Amino acid sequence: MEYLFHILIMILIYVMLSQSLTLAAGYSGLISLAHAGFYGIGAYTSTILTVYYGFPFLFVLPIAILLTGIIAIIVSLISLRTVDDYFIIITLGIQVVAFSIMNNWMHLTNGPLGISGIPFISILGFAIKSKISFLFLTLFLAVLIYMILRNVTNSPFGRILIALSEDEIFVKSLGKNVYQAKVISFTLGGMFAAIPGVLYAHYISYIDPTSFTVDESIFILSIVIIGGMRSLWGSALAAAILVILPEALRFIGMPSNMAANMRQIIYGIALIFMMFKYRNGFMLS
């Protein structure tokens, strides 16, 4: 049973990550490979504040979201100087820089050794120790993110995002502020990625930079693309399948390091096939 809860929590964390990227990559067409960076910044911010300074969870969470948001604004100001494939390469570069900072700033992040001993989350004196209560907290936040994103994407602002990802110059000609809309959607996506980061750090109780690599970014992007780019439910389903996949492979008797490689091979192939499917662009189906 504990194992099942663990899988469910991991699925929900990836659901949150992929939904936050769906806003940036799916709706406004900003295909970003820096998402694991934001996820990591959220995780490290909360870890450092909790372990070194002993701040409570309800204080740490907003700080982590805000800090990630500020960094996301800076990142978007740099990377939005480019578009399309150059944008992807720039965000890839930013991801490498973020990983390099997490891996090498020994004083702050303890480098490759990581930080251990992250305490349980406690909300107003009520400690969340069991897996089932953590699952409910994660579920609550995932539903909250889903509701917010659904409202954003169904709002007039969401329609601007969809329009600009299809024809940017046309949207500009309608007098909409394209640049601002891009910055806002990218920043919102980054801020929402901080939440699963905070949860992951408290759940595993140990973090090191290898959880936030380029591979992780590619994985999150694959979930979004396999989920159908602009579908919040689709990316949730894809996250569930891709998280369960290595467990299922292990279940049929594949050694666990091979199962991890196999999962990457499978989603790599899925990415290629999805690109053949979306050869006419990512239209709403």
User: Which of helix, strand or coil describes residue 47?
Assistant: helix
Task: Note whether 271 binds another protein by CB under 8 A.
Answer: yes
Task: Note whether 279 binds another protein by CB under 8 A.
Answer: yes
Task: Note whether 270 binds another protein by CB under 8 A.
Answer: yes
Q: Which of 73, 166, 168, 205 binds another protein (CB under 8 A)?
A: 168
Task: Note whether 261 binds another protein by CB under 8 A.
Answer: yes
Q: Which residues pair with 121 in a beta bridge?
A: 128
Q: What is the nearest approach in angstroms of another protein to the Cβ of residue 218?
A: 6
Task: Note whether 194 binds another protein by CB under 8 A.
Answer: no
Residue 127 CA to residue 31 CA, distance in Å, equals 38
Task: Note whether 241 binds another protein by CB under 8 A.
Answer: no
The C-alpha angle 100, 184, 139, rounded to 5 degrees, equals: 75
- Between 94 and 236, whose beta carbon lies closer to another protein? 94
- Between 96 and 244, whose beta carbon lies closer to another protein? 96
State the alpha helices, DSSP H only, in 127-213: 131-154, 156-166, 168-173, 178-204
Residue 212 CA to residue 66 CA, distance in Å, equals 19
**Torsion of Cα atoms, 142 then 143 then 149 then 151, to 10°:** -170
Q: Going by C-beta distance under 8 Å and a sequence separation of 6 or more, which residues neighbour residue 77? A: 183
Q: Which residues pair with 126 in a beta bridge?
A: 123
Q: Which of 52, 58, 59, 84 binds another protein (CB under 8 A)?
A: 84
Question: Which 86-105 positions form the footprint of another protein (CB under 8 A)?
Answer: 86-90, 92-94, 96-97, 100-101, 103-104
Residue 55 CA to residue 47 CA, distance in Å, equals 10
Question: Which 20-39 positions form the footprint of another protein (CB under 8 A)?
Answer: 31
Window contacting another protein (CB under 8 A); options: 65-73, 75-83, 185-193, 204-212: 75-83
Question: Which 119-158 positions form the footprint of another protein (CB under 8 A)?
Answer: none
Task: Note whether 232 binds another protein by CB under 8 A.
Answer: no
18, 227 Cβ separation under 8 angstroms: yes
Number of residues that bind another protein (CB under 8 A): 46
Task: Note whether 223 binds another protein by CB under 8 A.
Answer: no
217-229: string of b/e by CB count within 10 Å (b at 16+)? Answer: bbbbbbbbbbbbb
Task: Note whether 222 binds another protein by CB under 8 A.
Answer: yes
Window contacting another protein (CB under 8 A); options: 55-63, 137-145, 195-203, 275-283: 275-283
Q: What is the nearest approach in angstroms of another protein to the Cβ of residue 267?
A: 7
User: Which of helix, strand or coil describes residue 97?
Assistant: helix
Question: Measuring CA to CA, which residue among 105, 106, 110, 134 is closest to residue 120?
Answer: 134
Question: Measuring CA to CA, which residue among 252, 235, 284 is closest to residue 14?
Answer: 235
Q: Which of 1, 2, 85, 285 binds another protein (CB under 8 A)?
A: 85
Binding region for another protein (CB under 8 A): 31, 78, 81-90, 92-94, 96-97, 100-101, 103-104, 168, 214-215, 218, 221-222, 225, 258, 261-262, 264-265, 267-272, 274-276, 278-281
